[in-house]
Amino acid sequence: MPPPEAEVIDPRARTMQLHEILRRAHEHDASDIHLVPGHPPMMRVHTVMVPMDEFSVLTSDGVRRTIDQITTPTQQQAFERDLDLDFSYEVPGLRRYRINAHVQRSGAAMALRSIRTEVPPMESLGLPEVIDSLVDLPRGLVLVTGDTGSGKSTTLAAMLDAMNRRHRKHIITLEDPVEYVFTSDLCLIQQRELGADMPTFSSGMRHALRQDPDVILVGEMRDLETAALAISAAETGHLVLSTLHTSSAAQTVERIIDMYPAGQQAQIRAMLANTLEAVVSQTLFSRADRPGMVPAVEVLLCTPAVRNLIRENRAFEIPNVIETSRNRGMNSLDSAISELYFNGLVAREDALEKATHRDKLERQLAA
């Protein structure tokens, strides 16, 4: 005899409950929602985890049925095989969500990242003005870096949206999964999703080069092959945009070079010095003046001096160049944080917590 729960659960009711959870999270402007057995639904509101106590404690079977209800048979087979699944899901009239379904100690669970259906204009994001000029680059490599949840995808989407309104180009995006959905305006935009439209980022990159692109967005440079193809594409006259989970410009350069075997690092330093145009490293803060988030952004522009440092394996000197090149539009992360603090946008403890050099910033804030 099946358990009582199996007799009364209607799949449509399960989906409706998920939609209600997402609506409530949307009302609180939550960035993330977590469905974990043994807990009520949880949401992250301005970096803080908050329980949604108006809903019942979740069960493993209930979460698993929800996953099955919003995925395809092919995705369900992949989840059974890998015990992890990344996909996107849209609630009409609400938002799209980037979802990771996974298995943990108490059973199936889900992490959902809220994605705004409309790409926010760049001027609304609080980004440095110099980032707007990167949209007009004809070629090269531009990297947007930061921790998970730092707003990298939103910054890249805003850049693509600006291109779409200014230039007549062919843009190909390779994403995992597709987040913001673009409508071609002046540009022709094609969006490909990992798993559904291509097996790997490196495969998507390799074939994108034969599809007459002007601009290629790679969701993440996860491995050596993808990084090598991205750099090669930039070297052959394309504008390539991508992300890395690094916290500073200097660390980003070092991370890319360290992907390569020691015998190839001198060659890749030369290639990177020739192709890298900018590194934008960002982190998000809860605003101190009102509800919401505000970014602190480090900007590295590849001037001849920076290219020489990369070529000569002196990436550790990049912070010094950034500090002395503010008139060119560069800015260090600590300078950006300091400016936010003195403008009353972030709290002192929050500023110090995310500082690159805490002691130095503490002295600046006390001055």
Among 61, 86, 115, give the residue marking a domain's end: 115
Among 115, 132, 152, give the residue marking a domain's end: 115
237 plus 336 within the same structural domain: yes
Question: What CATH number corresponds to the domain at position 45?
Answer: 3.30.450.90
What is the tally of structural domains in the chain?
Answer: 2
8 plus 60 within the same structural domain: yes
Q: What is the pLDDT of residues 352-365, one digit of tens each?
A: 999 999 999 999 89
| Residue scoring higher pLDDT (180 or 7) | 180
219 plus 85 within the same structural domain: no
Residue 142 bridge partners (DSSP):
241, 278
pLDDT confidence band for 3 (50 / 70 / 90)? very low
77 plus 130 within the same structural domain: no
149 plus 173 within the same structural domain: yes
Sheet containing 107-115: order of strands: 48-51, 42-45, 32-35, 107-115, 96-104, 84-90
Structure pTM? 0.84
Q: What is the pLDDT of residues 38-66, one digit of tens each?
A: 999 999 998 889 999 999 999 999 999 99
The domain in which residue 94 lies consists of 4-115
204 plus 296 within the same structural domain: yes
Q: Which of 150, 208, 147, 141 is nearest to 174 (CA)?
A: 208
Q: Look up residue 43 and give its amino acid.
A: M
90 plus 150 within the same structural domain: no
Among 115, 136, 170, give the residue marking a domain's end: 115
pLDDT confidence band for 144 (50 / 70 / 90)? very high
Run of H or E including 352? helix 348-353
Question: What CATH number corresponds to the domain at position 172?
Answer: 3.40.50.300
Q: How far is CA 160 from CA 134, 183, 185, 362, in A?
A: 10, 11, 11, 37
Average pLDDT in the chain: 92
- Has residue 12 got a pLDDT over 60? no
φ, ψ (nearest 5 deg) of residue 33: -130, 135
Question: How is the chain split among helix, strand and coil, in percent rounded to 5?
Answer: 40, 25, 35
